């Protein structure tokens, strides 16, 4: 390690030049990700969701912000897309392929709560009440799993060719690389052509927003939510393993409570027995984590779960 090398946070934690896709990018955490990337040099940010008006309003909000970068009116783009529909996802891929031809970072962030039977499980006074609580909105599990879990695979698969294209653009050898002592080769002369530093060895990256619910045995939202988010976290770890020979990374962000459309009905205050930090997460909290993951300083991070929860998982029974 060269301990005399320049170690500059504005360089290590920068999104400079990146092309990023965020599903569910029009609100809540997805919009906070978009804001962090937009303010920190991303080249292009595609925000995807079912409601085009929400996406377009989100872009107006970011572009009108006092912290918006100057001359950055073409960075954000809205694409109407339903992550449960492979045709819709394929159309989004085709549009981005035509526009820029590669994706450095895909963020699987779209999500829904599904059946909210969490509180009723603990309120039940009889076995029949408990039975009813467990089966509440039973049909709603289907959509929760389609959006929160299955789409992590559907969307990641659809974007693989554009993720590989981002790697080859940065000089990485294409295709499958296997075997002992056989690292993927990088032609570092490609880096200067794309405006990257000579020591920038980031590979393409899938980031999935799972949740602390992925690991909690205590159920706050609902059984389907915890289970579908556990599935999302596990699939993201599996992605890191089976994409390893293909040069594509996968990491998980596991947030505790953050303000969003999903959580707007709940109190923002928490006791030390629920969130030791006493509050919901903020734009600072999530921006710092995301910029670490996507930045040059995050290049060595792969297959991990990054928890941002104010200590919540430490005060509940869980599996983390």
Residues that bind ligand NAP (CB under 6 A): 23-24, 26-30, 49-51, 54, 81-84, 109-112, 147, 209, 211, 255, 257-258, 260-263
> Is 268 within 8 Å of 280 (Cβ atoms)?
yes
**Residue 254 structure tokens:** 């596991």
Sign of CA dihedral 277, 280, 286, 287: negative
CA distances from 54 to 30, 43, 66, 231 (A): 12, 22, 20, 28
Output the smallest distance, CB 159 to ligand NAP, in A: 14
Output the smallest distance, CB 94 to ligand NAP, in A: 17
Output the smallest distance, CB 85 to ligand NAP, in A: 8
Residues 93 and 21: their CA atoms lie apart, in Å, by: 10
Nearer to ligand NAP, 222 or 255 (CB): 255
DSSP state of 87: H
Q: Strand, coil or helix: what is 78?
A: strand
Residues 125 and 120: their CA atoms lie apart, in Å, by: 10
Output the smallest distance, CB 218 to ligand NAP, in A: 14
> Is 34 within 8 Å of 78 (Cβ atoms)?
no
Residues 43 and 19: their CA atoms lie apart, in Å, by: 6
> Is 206 within 8 Å of 106 (Cβ atoms)?
yes
DSSP state of 188: T
Nearer to ligand NAP, 80 or 177 (CB): 80
Nearer to ligand NAP, 203 or 293 (CB): 293
Q: Strand, coil or helix: what is 279?
A: strand
Residues 293 and 285: their CA atoms lie apart, in Å, by: 13
Q: Look at the chain and count its residues.
A: 320
Output the smallest distance, CB 173 to ligand NAP, in A: 34
Nearer to ligand NAP, 111 or 297 (CB): 111
Output the smallest distance, CB 261 to ligand NAP, in A: 4
Residues 218 and 221: their CA atoms lie apart, in Å, by: 9
Output the smallest distance, CB 26 to ligand NAP, in A: 5
> Is 78 within 8 Å of 56 (Cβ atoms)?
yes
Nearer to ligand NAP, 155 or 165 (CB): 155
Longest pairwise C-alpha distance within the chain? 69
Output the smallest distance, CB 149 to ligand NAP, in A: 10
Nearer to ligand NAP, 54 or 227 (CB): 54
Output the smallest distance, CB 172 to ligand NAP, in A: 29
Nearer to ligand NAP, 191 or 262 (CB): 262
Nearer to ligand NAP, 24 or 247 (CB): 24
Q: Strand, coil or helix: what is 246?
A: helix
């Amino acid at each position: 390690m060269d301990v005399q090398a320049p170690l500059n946070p504005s360089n290590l934690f920068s999104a400079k030049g990146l092309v990023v896709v965020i599903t569910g990018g029009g609100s809540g955490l997805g919009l906070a990700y978009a804001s962090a990337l937009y303010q920190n040099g991303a080249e292009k940010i595609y925000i995807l969701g079912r409601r085009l008006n929400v996406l377009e309003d989100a872009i107006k909000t970011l572009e009108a912000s006092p912290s918006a970068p100057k001359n950055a009116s073409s960075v954000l783009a809205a694409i109407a897309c339903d992550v449960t529909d492979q045709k819709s996802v394929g159309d989004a891929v085709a549009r981005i392929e035509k526009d820029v031809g590669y994706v450095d970072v895909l963020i699987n962030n779209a999500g829904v709560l599904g059946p909210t039977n969490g509180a009723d499980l603990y309120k039940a006074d009889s076995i029949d009440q408990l039975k009813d609580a467990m089966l509440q909105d039973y049909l709603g599990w289907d959509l929760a799993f389609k959006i929160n879990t299955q789409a992590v695979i559907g969307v990641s698969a659809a974007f693989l060719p554009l993720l590989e294209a981002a790697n080859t653009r940065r000089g990485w050898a294409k295709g499958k690389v296997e075997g002992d002592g056989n690292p993927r080769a990088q032609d570092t002369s490609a880096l200067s052509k794309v405006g990257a530093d000579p020591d920038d060895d980031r590979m393409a990256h899938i980031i999935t927003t799972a949740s602390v619910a992925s690991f909690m045995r205590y159920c706050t939202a609902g059984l389907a939510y915890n289970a579908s988010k556990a599935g999302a976290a596990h699939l993201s770890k599996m992605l890191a393993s089976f994409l390893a020979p293909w040069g594509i990374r996968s990491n998980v962000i596991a947030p505790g409570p953050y303000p969003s459309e999903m959580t707007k009905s709940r109190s923002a205050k928490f006791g030390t027995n629920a969130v030791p930090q006493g509050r919901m997460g903020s734009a600072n909290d999530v921006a710092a984590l995301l910029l670490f993951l996507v930045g040059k300083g995050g290049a060595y991070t792969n297959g991990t779960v990054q928890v941002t929860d104010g200590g919540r998982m430490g005060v509940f029974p869980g599996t983390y």
